[in-house]
Amino acid sequence: MSKEVNSESVSLCPLSTPAATEQEMLCIFGTGDLGRSLGQRLFQTGYKVVYGSRRPHSCGPLPPGTQVQTQSARLVFVCIHRENYNFLETLAPQLKGKVLVDVSNNLKKNMYPEANAEYLQRLIPGAQVVKGFNTLSAWALQNGPSDASRQVYVCGNSLEAKQAVIEVATKLGFTVLDRGSLTAARELEDFPLQLFPEWRLPLQLATGLTAFFFFYLLIRDVIYSYVVNDKDISFRIMASLANKVFPIVSLIMLSLCYLPGVIAAFLQLYRGTKYKRFPDWLDRWMLCRKQLGLVALALASLHVLYTLIIPIRYYVRYRLAAHTISQIKENKTSPFDTTMAWRTDSYYVIGILGFGLYLLLGITSLPSVSNVLSWREFSFIQSKLGYLTLFFCTFHTYLYGWDKFLQPSSYKWFMLPGYMLSLVVPSVVLVLKLLLLLPCVDSTLTRIRQGWERTDPEKKKKNYQSELAVCSGLCLLHL
Amino acid sequence: MSKEVNSESVSLCPLSTPAATEQEMLCIFGTGDLGRSLGQRLFQTGYKVVYGSRRPHSCGPLPPGTQVQTQSARLVFVCIHRENYNFLETLAPQLKGKVLVDVSNNLKKNMYPEANAEYLQRLIPGAQVVKGFNTLSAWALQNGPSDASRQVYVCGNSLEAKQAVIEVATKLGFTVLDRGSLTAARELEDFPLQLFPEWRLPLQLATGLTAFFFFYLLIRDVIYSYVVNDKDISFRIMASLANKVFPIVSLIMLSLCYLPGVIAAFLQLYRGTKYKRFPDWLDRWMLCRKQLGLVALALASLHVLYTLIIPIRYYVRYRLAAHTISQIKENKTSPFDTTMAWRTDSYYVIGILGFGLYLLLGITSLPSVSNVLSWREFSFIQSKLGYLTLFFCTFHTYLYGWDKFLQPSSYKWFMLPGYMLSLVVPSVVLVLKLLLLLPCVDSTLTRIRQGWERTDPEKKKKNYQSELAVCSGLCLLHL
Amino acid sequence: MSKEVNSESVSLCPLSTPAATEQEMLCIFGTGDLGRSLGQRLFQTGYKVVYGSRRPHSCGPLPPGTQVQTQSARLVFVCIHRENYNFLETLAPQLKGKVLVDVSNNLKKNMYPEANAEYLQRLIPGAQVVKGFNTLSAWALQNGPSDASRQVYVCGNSLEAKQAVIEVATKLGFTVLDRGSLTAARELEDFPLQLFPEWRLPLQLATGLTAFFFFYLLIRDVIYSYVVNDKDISFRIMASLANKVFPIVSLIMLSLCYLPGVIAAFLQLYRGTKYKRFPDWLDRWMLCRKQLGLVALALASLHVLYTLIIPIRYYVRYRLAAHTISQIKENKTSPFDTTMAWRTDSYYVIGILGFGLYLLLGITSLPSVSNVLSWREFSFIQSKLGYLTLFFCTFHTYLYGWDKFLQPSSYKWFMLPGYMLSLVVPSVVLVLKLLLLLPCVDSTLTRIRQGWERTDPEKKKKNYQSELAVCSGLCLLHL
């Protein structure tokens, strides 16, 4: 919105239209970007629009002495900065009984103690404030629904007021989502400001792990062979090294999706109740599992592509040819090794199956897909198939290692090969999960999750506190 | 829900909150898992919650003699087992005029003749029963919307009652879908219990076919070469064999997606009307076409991955090298075969194009995508492009066969090669489809599908019966 | 709908049902396909259906003298052709106060000046017309919601009327989208007729470019080598040639997604305002960017698959073997070329990363995904990551060219290699984008997009006009 809303006179500019008579009249306060984009759109859709502004100079050539009865307009769109709301207070009488649509956004989160819409409602208690349209892009406000701006979120305390706004929104071609009462305004005002909040942690983690393993393997493979064997294999950095780092990070992150669940289970077993809140770090962790998984999936896909281009890489082709040639030169052909065939094939196949399941998990986490699933179906896929995926991927890595675990040659400079490091967390998760699947443990856990609570005296007390956490003060009434 | 709801005293526990005054009061019956999770959530969202329970002992330290006016709460969430509904009957007077939200679920489908909600309505006719919240996971009830639990389905006979519940649900952050009157309750109560019902058949079919072809090819390839040539190629089971089974099953299942449509068309042609119901097996078959197709797509994708890893497999590399070496040893180089180049290339390319189209079909069957398509667009893709896909994939297989059809060598132990078997159904489907595309046939079919009916006397009678099936008893009224 | 609605008598046929008493009665005019399918469905759902038809003969055996009080039915579904609406005019008195649901569709767009529903409303002003159900397939009308027919769009001027229709639709199991007032009827009536309108241009473009580059490369590679070197490499057409054409077209189309944005930016800079409409061609171009991108993505995916099958192609294997053999024959082995290794690897890796980002763009343009994104997130991905993708893909192509740019050998018949041509547009776009990122330019542009306008006198005038375009006539009112 334009900054220079500061002069004192207030102007209202009606959009006279061919058949103005039978059209609903809307009023827009503020001739900033938002106000004008919205007005243009409303005008094109066939509404009669009246502008309210304090910038007469910006109002162009004016037919003198025209009067506008504001009362004719039931809806008033407030497209001015929160700083200028106080100016609206002066209009309180005129705005009494009107529906004020607060379209405003702030420059950053938590700038003010209360949401703009709530502030506006407080200023003009006589009006019915509805928060809405603020989640749309200026482009969408001007040209109608587009990709990320198909939905208009509205919230407000008066149902009729909301209904009126919803009518306008649908007429503009938007889909409307009612977010309940005005208390949701803050959430709606924060929405346009957010930039993948729940992706931060997973992405940082991915970056961190990638960086670490990159340098780790750089030292272990490239630099080592340069120092010790005095051989320059730096060209491997581009593809070979990356193709080691990605799967490692991917596997670790996949296992990190399932670790918190296991921890939570053991915590519930230990506490003997499900009604105690988890520590915050665990809650936060659980809430970004989906993102963790998707980032891991992305890395896994890269790993797949990197693997599939192996045979067309110059380096690989050269080595294969060289191998063949050397065989001929020395005139000794290595015999066919069936074990080797079994081993590599199963290594690849397990990998493929793991990746296939992984893709399935990714697809079912698409909003439209998960929406049509019952949560039983969803948890079946995400939990059961999820662990199966983890198992496949871990097994895939073990097969990769095969007997290298025993070869001292693979421990250069006392540094373990990368894939061994990547196996630690997944193995732990799988073992813990196995423990949880033991009949006795499983049954207890199930009962706890169905609300049952262990009741040894001193637990009981805790139990009460937890209960208090639920209803914070209980009383008895005999009907 | 906790089983031990059985003592006789009834307790109501209000959650006293900072600004309890201006908050709406909700009542929850049942302090089982569901009740407490829901209560906690409602409480956090800023509602004043009152618990109704028959377990005073679970109500913790009680401020003596507190009184709660139930009438203050308009909404009552019923979170107790259906078995205990009769206890509610005793409260009928207090519950008169209230909105009862039935959150209950059953342990398995069709346990009772009527839906819980309808049963509740019958017990307490004075109240307005709304079914809702039962499709959410306990986790979502406790911590708010998550993947598969973003939507709350509600149904009920009173619009106002539903509106009130919807208000609460949206305030909790859920998206609400109104499923109409209380008759939909059964459907809502079955929803949380379902576990991919419409996927059963396709998955069983896939498993069956896969198993059959696996053993068929196991005998034909591995065992045969072991017995006859005394050569152990068991290592091929892992990748080579699977890479034969998957495409075979995939192709067959793809064709099975289109077979019922063709059958239906011929049935309509024969009957000369579209107003007769199809036999049940055909209906069921048609209803799981989408799932058939998606399973087939999954198998096709596996086939693609299996094919792409061929060149990095040890066995393949070894064979190639061995071939080169042998060429040198015998000092005769096989000349370049242009036909062979054409053949293999077109074989691969057709496969790729088929798979590409296949992916397109898969993507358009995503709910969110098919929702934005007009059904004309949808049927264009699923039918026209679908048949094109089937044609490509079939042609791909024929190219694979090429001249092997004529080589007696490929008929070991009188067993046809797998791909030949896989070609039967698709070929049939394609031929039948071609017949349907003949102008004369096509036009007739189109007219039938537009409601036209063949009208030779004795058909006419059938025709009537079919009409009766539509309106079962007609009458004439001259306005 | 059946054509022969022409006799004069009018018949109403009630569906007598077991418990007809407590069921709502609906009336359907027209016993054509639509009418009967809908009736069947409504009947199965438990409604009492009355048919209104002018074809007594089609009404089967009639219990004589049955009377039907039409007034009992509040909802009347109009399933007859617009041509026969005038016949409804005669029923105007009976239809007074009823809700008329216009289910009709036209055979092609813009057949009539006004929408069917609006026409109907004009004919029977006493009734409340609601447009709806017309976007469903006959199949969905008969058997309930299916893939592309899950949603029922309704529009109408009376809220109550709409509410009543919505109730029925939800009871039939559909999700309802309210499109506002009856003015939206036209849009609803055009919807079922559309067949990927916004995909036309991109697909035509893709086809055109593909055809051009195919023949261009056919001449340059195949024919040239046939004429000049008298060597038949026609077999390359199938895979090698296609694998050149696809990436070229894909890259060009990707850059064409971002060109209009850049042009628009420069236009805004030149005009010094954002309130002037863009030329139509630019608007149209901008509106099909998404489709351009998705088509390009499809081609890119084909390119990937074509590339991945390279090593299993007969031609490639033969050439590699031949190369090895020749090396041995001539007994000179080419040394390992590190630069070459670096080059090819980075070439592939950049390609993979570009494709990965590309897929990400594709996924986020899925409706359900873009719906959950704030537009800030969406534009971050589509714009920032989009340009990154374009950069990667362009760089990938440059790496492919490497030093070939300098080799005269690559200019056969004065025809540039295809990839060079493909680099023109992307390079231009990237350079222009870089210019726009210059601090000074960027800041100006940002201010303009926030509504600021350059104000040198003669611009100011234009400015006014543009402002007029927004509110077309302003006036001043001192509150």
More confident residue, A8 or A139: A139
User: What's the whole-number mean pLDDT along residues A433-460?
Assistant: 81
Helix (H) or strand (E) holding B176: strand B175-178
**Listed residue (C184, C127, C118, C114) closest to C153, CA to CA:** C184
Poorest-confidence range of B19-28, C86-95, C465-474?
A: C465-474
Q: Is the pLDDT of residue B295 over 70?
A: yes
Same domain? B169 vs B288: no
Q: How far apart are CA B378 and CA B359, in angstroms?
A: 15
Nearest to C15 among B327, B353, B472 (CB): B472
Cα–Cα dist C82/C248, whole Å = 50
Q: Are residues B60 and B124 in the same domain?
A: yes
Closest partner residue to A374 (CB to CB) among B68, B194, B315 is B194
Note the pLDDT of residue B174. Answer: 87
* Structural domain includes residue C7: yes
Asked if C177's CB is within 8 angstroms of A13's CB, the reply is: no
pLDDT at A159: 84
Instruction: Choose from B295, B312, B330, B371 for mutation: most chain A CBs within 10 A.
Output: B312
Domain that holds residue C154: 3-193
Q: Is residue C467 part of a domain?
A: no
Contacts of C120 (CB under 8 A, 6+ apart): C78, C85, C88, C100, C102, C129
The answer to whether A94 contacts C178, with C-beta atoms less than 8 Å apart, is no
Q: Is C177 on the interface with A (CB under 8 A)?
A: yes
The nearest CA of chain C is from the CA of B322 a distance in Å of: 11
What value does the mean pLDDT take over residues A232-253?
A: 92
Here the tokens at position A262 are 């296991």
- The DSSP element (H or E) to which C257 belongs, if any, is helix C242-271
Per-residue pLDDT band for A203 (boundaries 50, 70, 90) equals very high
Of C451, C293, C311, residue with least CA distance to C370: C293
Q: Is the pLDDT of residue C474 over 50?
A: no
- Distances from the Cα of B475 to the Cα of A6, B332, C12, C31, C53, angstroms: 74, 90, 6, 13, 11
Q: How many domains, in total, are found in chain B?
A: 2
Position A51 scores a pLDDT of: 80
Distance from CA of A378 to the nearest CA of C (A): 17
Of residues A312, B308, A112, the one with CA closest to residue C349: A312
d(CA B245, CA A6): 76
| Average confidence (pLDDT) over A216-240 | 89
Asked if residue C172 and residue C250 are part of one domain, the reply reads no
- Closest CB to C368: pick one of A63, A322, A367: A367
Residue C122 within any structural domain of the chain: yes
Determine, yes or no, domain membership for B166: yes
On whether any CB of chain C is under 8 Å from the CB of A135, the answer is yes
Mark yes or no for CB contact C371/A148 under 8 Å.
yes
Work out the pLDDT band at B19, boundaries 50, 70, 90. Answer: very low
CA distance A461 to chain C (A): 43
In a domain, B35, yes or no: yes
Window 413-442 of B, Cβ < 8 Å to A: none
Residue A1's pLDDT is: 36
Tell me how close the Cα of B94 comes to any Cα of chain A, in angstroms: 10
B328, B474, B479: residue with CB nearest C60: B474
Q: CA Rg, chain C, in Å?
A: 32
Assess if residue B67 is contained within a domain: yes
C308 touching chain A per CB within 8 A: yes
Pairing of strands A75-78, A128-132: unpaired
- pTM of the full predicted structure? 0.87
pLDDT at residue C71, as a whole number: 56
For residues C347 and C249, membership in a common domain is answered with yes
Question: Does C317 share its domain with C351?
Answer: yes
User: Which residues of chain A make contact with B15, given a CB cutoff of 8 A?
Assistant: 471-473
- Indicate whether B421 pLDDT > 60: yes
Cβ under 8 Å to A: C residues 233-262: none
Q: What is the mean pLDDT of chain A?
A: 82
| Sign of the alpha-carbon dihedral angle for C81, C86, C88, C92 | positive
Q: Which residue from A minimizes the CA distance to B231?
A: A338
Residue B88 confidence class, pLDDT cut points 50, 70, 90: confident
> Per-residue pLDDT for B16 more than 50?
no
Contacts of B336 (CB under 8 A, 6+ apart): C315, C318, C322
Chains contacting A (3 or more CB pairs within 8 Å): B, C
Q: What is the pLDDT of residue B426?
A: 96
Q: At which of A193, A228, A250 does a domain end?
A: A193
pLDDT band at C221; cut points 50, 70, 90:
confident
Which of B7-16, B305-314, B353-362 comes out lowest in average pLDDT?
Answer: B7-16
C-contacting chains (≥3 CB pairs under 8 Å)? A, B
Q: Which of B193, B220, B255 is the last residue of a domain?
A: B193
**Is B322 near chain A, with CB under 8 Å?**
yes
- State whether A16 and C473 contact (CB < 8 Å): yes
Whether C220 and C320 share a structural domain: yes
pLDDT tens-place string over residues C431-452: 999 999 999 999 999 888 877 7
Is B94 part of the contact surface with chain A (CB cutoff 8 Å)?
yes
pLDDT for the residue numbered C60? 39
- Scanning the structure block, which residue is given the tokens 């190629």? B233
Give me the percent of chain A exceeding a pLDDT of 90.
38
- Residue B23: the pLDDT is 67
pLDDT of C470 strictly over 50:
no
Helices C314-329 and B314-329 cross at an angle (nearest 10°) of 50
Distance between C127 CA and the closest CA of chain B, angstroms: 18
pLDDT tens digits along C79-97: 888 888 887 888 888 888 8
Which residues does chain A have within 8 Å of residue C333's beta carbon, measured at their own beta carbons? 322, 325
Instruction: Say if A380 is an interface residue toward chain B (CB within 8 Å).
Output: yes
Starting at the edge strand found earlier in the chain, the sheet holding A99-102 runs A11-14, A48-53, A25-29, A75-78, A99-102, A128-132, A151-156, A175-178
Residue C29 is classified by DSSP as E
Could you tell me the CATH number of the domain that includes residue A154? Answer: 3.40.50.720
Mean pLDDT computed over A90-108: 87
Contacts of B307 in chain C (CB under 8 A): 309, 312
Q: Tell whether C271 is covered by a domain.
A: yes
- For residue A304, give how far its alpha carbon lies from the nearest alpha carbon of chain B (Å): 9
Touching check for B375 and chain A: CB below 8 Å? Answer: no
- Closest-CA residue to C199 (of C317, C293, C299, C97): C293
- Considering CB atoms only, which of B178, B275, B464 is closest to C36? B275
Top residue of B121, B353, B375 to mutate, by most chain C CBs within 10 Å, is: B375
From CA B364, how far away is CA A368, in angstroms rounded? 12
Asked whether A150 and A182 are in contact (CB, 8 A), the reply is no
Q: Which residue in this structure is represented by tokens 């009766």?
A: B468
Query: Is residue A332 very low, low, confident or very high in pLDDT (cuts 50, 70, 90)?
Result: confident
Predicted confidence at residue A348, as pLDDT, reads 95
Query: Helix/strand/coil (H, E, C) string of C191-244?
Result: HHHCCCHHHHHHHHHHHHHHHHHHHHHHHHHHHHHHHCCCCCCHHHHCCCCHHH
Name chain B contacts of C322, Cβ cutoff 8 Å: 333, 336
Would an 8 Å CB–CB cutoff place C145 in contact with chain B? no
The reply to whether residue C382 touches residue A308, judged by beta carbons under 8 angstroms, is no
Considering only CB atoms, which chain B residues are within 8 Å of C195? 374, 376-377, 380
Residue B456 in this model has a pLDDT that exceeds 80: no
Say yes or no: A122 and A219 in one domain. Answer: no
Picking from A193, A225, A246, the residue at the C-terminal end of a domain is A193
Asked whether residue B89 carries a pLDDT value surpassing 70, the answer given is yes
As a whole number of angstroms, the distance between CA A386 and CA A357 comes to 8
Element (H, E) at C131: strand C128-132
Contact A374 B192 (CB under 8 A): yes
User: In the β-sheet with C175-178, what is the strand arrangement from edge to edge?
Assistant: C11-14, C48-53, C25-29, C75-78, C99-102, C128-132, C151-156, C175-178
Q: Please state, in angstroms and rounded to a whole number, the distance separating the CA atoms of residues C63 and C61.
A: 7
Q: A371, B371: Cβ pair inside 8 Å?
A: no
Instruction: Report the distance separating Cα B426 and Cα B391, nearest Å.
Output: 8
ipTM: 0.84
* pLDDT-derived band at B472, boundaries 50, 70, 90: very low
Output DSSP code: residue A476.
-
C318 chain-B contacts, CB cut-off 8 A: 336, 341
Range among A465-474, B51-60, C194-203 rated most confident: C194-203
Cβ separation of B370 and C148 shorter than 8 Å? Answer: yes
Which residues of A are less than 8 Å from B317 in CB distance? 320
Q: Are residues C213 and C254 in the same domain?
A: yes
Same domain? For C121 and C239 the reply is no
- Say yes or no to pLDDT of A139 above 60: yes
| Residues of chain A positioned with their CB less than 8 A from the CB of C454 | none
- A471 contacts B13? CB cut-off 8 A: yes
pLDDT digits (tens, 9 = 90+) for C264-305: 999 999 998 877 888 999 988 988 999 999 999 999 999 999
In a domain, A447, yes or no: no
Each residue of A382-423: pLDDT tens digit?
889 999 999 999 999 999 988 777 777 777 777 888 889 999
Token pair 């067959």 is at which residue? B252
Least confident of A55-64, B344-353, C194-203: A55-64
pLDDT classification of B1: cutoffs 50, 70, 90: very low
Task: Return the pLDDT at A73.
Answer: 79
B267: confidence class by pLDDT, cuts 50, 70, 90:
very high
Q: What's the mean per-residue pLDDT of chain B?
A: 82
Render pLDDT for B423-452 as a digit per residue (tens, 0 to 9): 999 999 999 999 999 999 999 998 888 777
What 8-state DSSP symbol labels residue B129?
Answer: E
| C75 and C222 together in one domain | no
**Confidence category of residue A475, pLDDT binned at 50, 70, 90:** very low
Do A49 and A106 fall into the same domain? yes
Are residue B266 and residue B288 in the same domain, yes or no?
yes
pLDDT at A62 over 50: no
Q: What is the pLDDT of residue C473?
A: 32
Q: Which residue has the higher pLDDT, B476 or C379?
A: C379
Helix axes A386-401 and A338-364, enclosed angle (nearest 10): 150
CB contact under 8 A, C469 and A321: no
CB atoms within 10 A of CB B100: 27
Looking at residue C163, its pLDDT comes to: 87
Which residues in chain C are contacts of A222 at CB distance < 8 A? none
Question: Quick one: pLDDT at residue B357?
Answer: 96
Picking from A139, A160, A159, A158, the residue whose alpha carbon sits closest to that of residue A148 is: A139
